[in-house]
């Protein structure tokens, strides 16, 4: 069982700052995700944890022991990549047994371990197939079994589901989560998909241009984003530039003609007159007046799309466009007016920053 700690980890590739002063503690048994846009340094950070890359500056600790210069094969980590990297000329069982054979595990024990792992990833009975006789999802399970068979202290998964179609991705993420929970293995997961990150993780680190912008539970980063980058990267929403009119428990923010009262501020830096960003998630809005005190605005319907559980509606309020999740059981005619309500304490207000 392993706790991983990164201290001031920086990685430069020439001019490129791939990891910028990364400080993280990944708890023993935790499902921890690095989330961020393509090129933000997720893979580099993970490769540094694995020992496949050495930091330009900073330290990596496993259970408090400095492993910064320890090569990857001495760290007992298991890594699964997006492209599976199975050996095509070996059967499923042979692929999974590979790490055990390298370690000279007795044949009987190896066979037992391989069968156990194939059961764990729901591939029991498919051991004699070759990788090209399996679906993408099944191949990814083999890759997972091949890594887990050696009992790694840390499981590292780099965009493992990116090659699968949407439905399979959801199924596989549930399975990976279930396997991780059952084994209690410290897991670092890399994805650019915020929904996937929220669904599987105990905690998420959001990375941008090499830097960690926030670390928190899915609820913390969604409900209390630490800055504007996090607020816009995670979840949908309308971002509005506003000015703080009054501060304190009932902070009020003006956006054009609209005044939002009693909003949640995440940051003490926000004071009266501050230029701020208001983040309004589409699900904050209600179309029927809620029983609790709320802000309300009226706008003209610009666009609507029925997507099943909700209808997405865009309304224009004095030139400002708001995205609203509306009940799906009625029509929203373009050009007609719609009044929407936003419960107090819902709106997120953050110091303005240029993205």
User: Which residues of the shown chain bind Mg ion in the complex (CB under 5 A)?
Assistant: 43
| Options 12-20, 263-271, 329-337, 338-346: segment touching ligand ADP (CB under 6 A) | 12-20
> By C-beta, is 43 or 347 nearer to Mg ion?
43
81 binds ligand ADP (CB under 6 A): no
| CA-based end-to-end distance of the chain | 39
Nearer to ligand ADP, 84 or 260 (CB): 84
Phi, psi (degrees; rounded to nearest 5) at 299: -145, 175
- The residue range among 39-47, 119-127, 133-141, 255-263 that interacts with ligand ADP, by the rule CB under 6 A, is 39-47
- β partners of residue 300: 316, 337
How far, in Å, CA of 258 to CA of 352, rounded?
Answer: 18
The answer to whether residue 41 forms part of the interface with ligand ADP (CB under 6 A) is yes
Is residue 215 within 8 Å of residue 204, measured between CB atoms?
Answer: yes
Name the 3-class secondary structure at 183.
Answer: helix
For 23, how many CA atoms within 13 A lie in the half-sphere containing its CB? 3
**CB closest to Mg ion, residue no:** 43
Q: Is the dihedral of CA 115, 80, 205, 278 positive or negative?
A: negative
Partner interacting with residue 18 (select from ligand ADP, Mg ion, none; CB below 5-8 Å by kind): ligand ADP
85 binds ligand ADP (CB under 6 A): no
Is 269 in contact with 352 (CB distance < 8 Å)?
A: no
Query: Considering only residues 4, 9, 31, 42, which one is a binding residue for ligand ADP as defined by CB under 6 A?
Result: 42
**Residue in 15, 38, 182, 309 binding ligand ADP, rule: CB under 6 A:** 38
Nearer to ligand ADP, 13 or 73 (CB): 13
- Nearest approach in angstroms of CB 81 to ligand ADP is 11
* CB-neighbour burial class of residue 300 (10 A; exposed 0-12, middle 13-18, buried 19+): middle
Tell whether residue 87 is a contact of ligand ADP (CB under 6 A).
no
Q: Which sign does the torsion angle of CA 256, 259, 262, 268 carry?
A: positive
- Candidates 40-48, 233-241, 279-287, 328-336; binding stretch for ligand ADP (CB under 6 A): 40-48
Residue ranges in contact with ligand ADP by CB under 6 A: 13, 16, 18, 36, 38-44
């Amino acid at each position: 069982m392993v706790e991983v700690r990164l201290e001031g980890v920086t990685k430069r590739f020439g001019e490129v700052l791939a990891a910028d002063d990364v400080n993280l503690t990944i708890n023993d048994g935790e499902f921890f995700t690095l989330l961020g846009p393509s090129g933000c340094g997720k893979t580099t950070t993970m490769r540094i944890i694995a020992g496949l890359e050495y930091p330009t500056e900073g330290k990596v600790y496993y259970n408090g022991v400095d492993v910064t210069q320890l090569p990857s094969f001495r760290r007992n980590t298991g890594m699964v990549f997006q492209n599976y990297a199975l050996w095509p000329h070996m059967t499923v069982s042979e692929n999974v047994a590979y790490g055990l054979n390298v370690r000279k595990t007795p044949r009987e024990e190896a066979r037992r371990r391989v069968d156990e792992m194939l059961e764990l990833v729901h591939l029991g009975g498919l051991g004699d197939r070759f990788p090209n006789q399996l679906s993408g999802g099944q191949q990814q399970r083999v890759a997972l079994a091949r890594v887990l068979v050696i009992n790694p202290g840390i499981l590292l998964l780099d965009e493992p589901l990116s090659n699968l179609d949407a439905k399979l991705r959801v199924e596989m993420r549930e399975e990976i989560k279930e396997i991780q929970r059952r084994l209690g293995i410290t897991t670092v997961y890399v994805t650019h998909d915020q929904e996937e990150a929220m669904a599987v993780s105990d905690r998420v680190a959001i990375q941008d241009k090499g830097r960690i912008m926030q670390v928190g539970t899915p609820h913390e980063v969604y409900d209390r984003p630490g800055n504007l980058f996090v607020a816009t990267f995670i979840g949908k929403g309308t971002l509005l530039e506003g000015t703080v009119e009054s501060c304190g428990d009932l902070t009020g923010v003006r956006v054009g003609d609209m005044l939002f009262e009693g909003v949640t501020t995440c940051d003490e830096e926000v004071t009266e007159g501050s230029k701020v960003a208001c983040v309004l998630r589409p699900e904050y809005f209600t179309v029927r007046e809620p029983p609790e005190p709320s802000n309300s605005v009226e706008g003209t319907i610009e666009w609507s799309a029925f997507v099943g559980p909700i209808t997405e509606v865009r309304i224009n309020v004095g030139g400002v466009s708001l995205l609203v999740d509306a009940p799906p059981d009625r029509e929203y005619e373009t050009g007609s007016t719609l009044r929407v309500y936003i419960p107090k304490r819902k709106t997120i207000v953050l110091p303005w920053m240029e993205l």
